[in-house]
A and B are shown apart, each in its own frame.
Chain A
Amino acid sequence: MAVTGAVMVLFLVAHMIGNLKIFLGHDSFNEYAHALRTLGEPILPYRTLLTITEIVLVASVGLHMWAAISLSRRAAHARPVKYVAKKSQAGGYTTHIMRWGGVTIVLFVIYHLLDLTFGVVNPKGFDSEPADRMVAGFDPSRWWVTLIYAVAVVMVGLHLRHGIWSAFQTLGWAKRNRYHVLRVTAAAVSVVLVLGFLAPPLAITFGVVK
């Protein structure tokens, strides 16, 4: 979980930086989208690095889900008889946020890809400029898309707040005297990512970016 999670966090950081290019104008954003495909050219053929990245990402998502499912299956086997009364002493945050949060995020990612990558549910369709798709997708008239997106991004943030810290713990890099720093770092990274991802759609929906 920790390794695949780390891959996805790195992806998210890059993805966020890319998204923010919309504030520099449509061309900048489109250039960025194009550059992603031509990265490594002319040494490598068109879309090589992007495809590799996509494969790694899909594998990470798959492995991350597989790990999550096997962990929860093991948990179910380890406690066949449930408690009549059970009260969390550690806030219950992680237990609730990680598994159900993860499921929510997966559903969102599917929608997200259909919307902005494949354009299936996007008003501009697949055959359009990425920046146009983005602006059209978060058009004020489609405020509910922005809302879904915002909820999902916040969910990702909550997921990361535990996930980042937890990765350090799982990989054995956490220490009592580093816990505070790790938790603060995890929270900070989550907040930055949430804000970074929320900024473009909100800006579009509220007409700051057209």
Chain B
Amino acid sequence: MNLTLKVWRQSGPSDAGRMVTYRVEDVSPDMSFLEMLDVLNERLIVEGDEPIAFDHDCREGICGMCGMVINGVAHGEQRATTTCQLHMRHFEDGATITIEPWRAAPFPVVKDLVVDRSAFDRIIQAGGFVSVPAGSAPDAHSVPVRKEDADDAFDAATCIGCGACVAACPNGSASLFTAAKITHLGLLPQGQPERLSRAKAMVDQMDAEGFGGCTNTGECTAVCPKGIPLDAIAQMNSDYLKANAK
């Protein structure tokens, strides 16, 4: 296949950035999207140009490091798929593909398609944990957990922290990310003692980072590679309201 890529190039945070067009030829349909970019980058290096910087690591859809907006959709149009797991067979020969970074003020661009997502770490720091020092835990079987609760908690816990929800949200909200952790821990007995304080602290931190508010558009869950359900946000809202009522 032959493709035309329109890629966002930005040399650093102070650069304004622009779209640059590249031709990529002889793309195999079995390539992953990132492998296609690898091929282009190899060519750019040999030609003495700067290759396109993008984040990636595990390339098996679990680390959450990769992410780009492809043709206007976070991680591309294939559902429940990270960018690294997207393959070129889903594109037409001769197609033009637009590639942009996650765009959100709390995710400043570091270079090209690389953004700084440390805001997510700070949201977790605000309360996304159970306070239990190593060595102090009771026997694992001392507290049974209803299977349904364990399963629902797991669904929320599968979040990979990639930031696609923020990228897709018309409001630039981080609600799905924040809610996933609040829901995961809030559904388990181990997470109960800190449940409301956690919700309040994490939501307040999310707001302080400059993310937008949630208007329940559902764009986040539609692009989420792990399909984190939207009702996590309802759970977050409920816990947050209760925490504020106290």
Contacts and interface: CB of A to CB of B under 8 A. Distances in A.
Q: Do chains A and B touch in the complex (CB under 8 A)?
A: yes
Interface of A: 70-72, 74-75, 77-90, 94-95, 98, 162, 165-166, 168-176, 179
Given A171-B238, A172-B238, A83 B100 contact: yes
B72 A79 contact: no
A85 B100 contact: yes
B39 interface: no
B83 interface: no
A78 B6 CA distance: 24
A85 B233 contact: no
A70 B171 CA distance: 11
B235 A172 contact: yes
A81 B104 CA distance: 8
B72 A83 contact: yes
Nearest to B166: A78
Nearest to B239: A172
B212 A94 contact: no
B72 A85 contact: yes
A90 B218 contact: yes
B151 to A, nearest CB: 12
Interface string B222-243: 1100000111011111111100
Interface residues of B, number: 45
A179 to B, nearest CB: 7
A164 to B, nearest CB: 11
B231 A79 contact: no
A94 B216 contact: yes
B212 A74 contact: yes
B219 interface: yes
Contacts of B230: 169, 174, 179
A89 B222 contact: yes
B213 interface: yes
B233 A169 contact: yes
Contact of A75 (B212, B216, B223, B238): B212
B85 interface: no
Given A78-B171, A80-B105, A172-B237, A71 B222 contact: no
Interface in B197-227: 210-219, 221-223
B69 interface: yes
A95 B235 CA distance: 22
A90 B214 CA distance: 14
A85 B98 contact: yes
A71 B216 CA distance: 12
B161 interface: no
Contacts of B106: 78
B19 interface: yes
B172 A85 contact: no
